[in-house]
Amino acid sequence: MKRILIFAFVAFVAMAGCQTQTAPAPVAPPPEAAAPPAPTEAPIDPALLGAFAALPAVIESADNPLTDEKVALGRTLYYDKRFSKNHDLSCNSCHLLTQYGVDNKATSPGHKGQLGDRNSPTVYNAAGEFVQFWDGRAPTVEEQAKGPVLNPVEMALADDKAVLAVINSIPEYVEAFKKAFPADKDPVTYDNFGRAIGAFERKLVTPSKWDKFVGGDMAALNDAEKAGFKKFVEVGCTACHTGALLGGHMFQKLGLVKPWPNDKDPGRAKVTNSDADKLFFKVPMLRNIEKTGPYYHDGSVATLEGAVKLMGEHQLGKTLSDADVASIMTFLKTLTGELPTNLIAEPPMPPSTDKTPKPDPA
Q: Give yes or no: 154 in active site.
A: yes
Which helix (H) or strand (E) segment is 252 a member of? Answer: strand 251-253
Please tell me the distance from the alpha carbon of residue 134 to that of residue 29, in angstroms, as a whole number: 71
CB of 89 closer than 8 Å to CB of 224 = no
Which segments of 202-247 does DSSP mark as H helices, in order?
209-214, 223-235
Catalytic residue among 154, 175, 225, 338: 154
φ/ψ of residue 147, rounded to 5: -75, -60
Residue 316's CB is within 10 A of a number of other CB atoms, namely 17
DSSP of 288-323: TGGGS-SBSTT--B--HHHHHHHHHHHHS-----HH
| Cα dihedral 335/338/339/342 (nearest 10) | -160
Distance CA 208, CA 190 (A): 35
Report the catalytic residues. 154
